[in-house]
Structure 1
């Protein structure tokens, strides 16, 4: 299976990434043992990180008693850069955008000697030179049912999200290219999914201009999840992993299965970690069937391992893009396009958001 670059990442890290690619530090003295280490794991916090602890870390420690974990959040790329430049790396495994890891491969992130299951059992692009994919997420269109209680007059398409006259209300978007903020405006503007790439970023931003005044641009998925839960937004694009906790809490949400954008999440290893062997072994382990199935069960994401046995909760079944609930179409973010255009696209989006 060819290794390809996917572009995912948080907007807050965008300007840093453009300079970080040229930065590097000498690796510290690595711990050659994959059997004895305390790994510092950096995730996104909240329900998602709890699921990672339960499905990845705790079973791994049970099978490898010499490996324990310390958890922290969020995965701040500025902190990665500072640690690497100071040759004082304390983070071992970090949740990272595949494109960010690839663009800084060998400078800020270690090349990974992948030792997991056969790549033939994984989704395409799941393993890169400096990342290991951990699950595939989708960011469907949804709305609070109490905002549109009558199905006859409720939104039914991506286009409706951008129709402020027919569907008034506050919108919500995550300012992260991973979650389709550039794809969805183009889909609403009539671009067919098969014709999305190369992305026309200018056209996407022009379409976003039409809803700027009625849209909450959340800096991260957790912030938008909170806004949805508290009723601050009426309709939104929110990842499946954040929809499940809301549904579990009893928030009445309707998912609009029109065209849904999907993308890959990954783990990376900061350059110079003193626990390189242990970090590589752990990162490789998350692609195994059981860890992959567990994270899918708890978060409603799709497993990176195509043979993972699925036993989803009812609410996870409601949000899984490749399950029976999805009666619409799916478009995967283009690995090659983002690999070449990630920094430029996100910088332009950042400038637009600041305008």
Structure 2
């Protein structure tokens, strides 16, 4: 598969294509979870009652905008059903539309009370995002200067994965290993659409020997040079579930992609190895636009979702890391093994979302141009 020549730029924010694709990979995990047998607490075991900061009784609804699929289903069972039962507030889910989200992020009016964005968007539009009230439980896994603006955090890991049988004597561990096609032969599955530039530049720089604390601002020219070294050995995918096909078929020996794809392969019976060494953590969050029509309700839901037991349940269902680190205490070893930010994964690399926000337009233009070469 050759790299596509994009017809138009794709916004560098979570797109419906991206998260619908990820959603497909999580279906098996949700089905397995529904069968029981896991000792982790369920939503009903979590305690606490959400209430607005002023103590007034809640009523009405909130409009929740995300990208649907099993991730939304996990939120429904983990968060929304209990919140509605406790407060009477209906949570109405809708698939996020870019035009309306952009209007509200730029300070305009709209229907959304909560929107799913990358953390770089939270930084870029923080002046038009509602702050959490004093005393709110903030997501400690986020940088301190954005915690009062972003919530409902889930942490995605961009990692390398492969069939264990492909490298019986041990496979690649670092991104330098990923580039070493002599020691670890075979094609590399790689993002092939502009909107999925993900952590490609960070990965290239790490492979080129840049220290994690020296990654930003991203040197795009250096990224291009490093990517060009590997390009003859790349197989491009246009949607995330293609990673599973490329790995399972042997078309690609190793893939760069969100770790949920490897969990889906494992759930399908494949023996998969994921290297967490230098896996890049990409924070995704919910934000409340300043002109949200139901601010008391959505701020109460944000507090409800901060409960560590509920976050542990959500992590079990989705494979995403929690915003509240106390959630790790409520996870089994099996769940922790799939979570990029689990305490034992001590060699991960965090994206600098503030720096990425400052380079956002340049990143999209860079990757669009590189793919089109």
Counterpart of 2:175 (choices 158, 165, 168) is 158
Map of 1:67-216 to 2, 5 A cutoff? 67-72=90-95, 75-81=96-102, 89-106=110-127, 109-114=128-133, 117-119=136-138, 122-125=140-143, 127-128=146-147, 130-146=149-165, 148-152=166-170, 154-174=171-191, 179-216=198-235
Superposition deviation, residue 329 in structure 1: 1.6
Q: For residues 41 and 250 of structure 1, do their structure 2 counterparts lie closer, same or farther at Cα, with a shift above 3 Å needed?
A: farther
Q: Secondary structure at the match of 1:307?
A: helix
Q: Secondary structure at the match of 2:176?
A: helix
Contact conserved, 2:11 with 2:195, CA < 8 A, in 1? no
CA distance in 1, matches of 2:154, 2:197: 13
Alignment length (residue pairs): 323
Partner of 1:353: 371
Q: Does 1:286 align with 2:321?
A: no
Q: Deviations over 1:214-260 (max 9, x none)?
A: 43444564554565567654311233344333322223211123222
CA distance in 1, matches of 2:57, 2:231: 50
Contact conserved, 1:102 with 1:131, CA < 8 A, in 2? no
Q: Does 1:340 align with 2:361?
A: no
CA distance in 1, matches of 2:282, 2:106: 30
Q: For residues 114 and 162 of structure 1, do their structure 2 counterparts lie closer, same or farther at Cα, with a shift above 3 Å needed?
A: farther
User: Over aligned residue pairs, what C-alpha RMSD do you find?
Assistant: 3.6
Q: Secondary structure at the match of 2:367?
A: helix
Q: Does 1:35 align with 2:58?
A: yes
Partner of 2:294: 275
Contact conserved, 1:179 with 1:237, CA < 8 A, in 2? no
Partner of 1:8: none
After TM superposition, the structure 1 stretch with the greater mean CA deviation from structure 2, 186-195 or 296-305, is 296-305
Map of 1:210-249 to 2, 5 A cutoff? 210-218=229-237, 221=240, 224=243, 228=247, 233-249=252-268
Length-normalised TM-score, structure 1? 0.75
Partner of 2:30: none
Q: Quick check: which one's helix share is greater?
A: 2
Q: Secondary structure at the match of 1:319?
A: coil
CA distance in 1, matches of 2:255, 2:168: 18
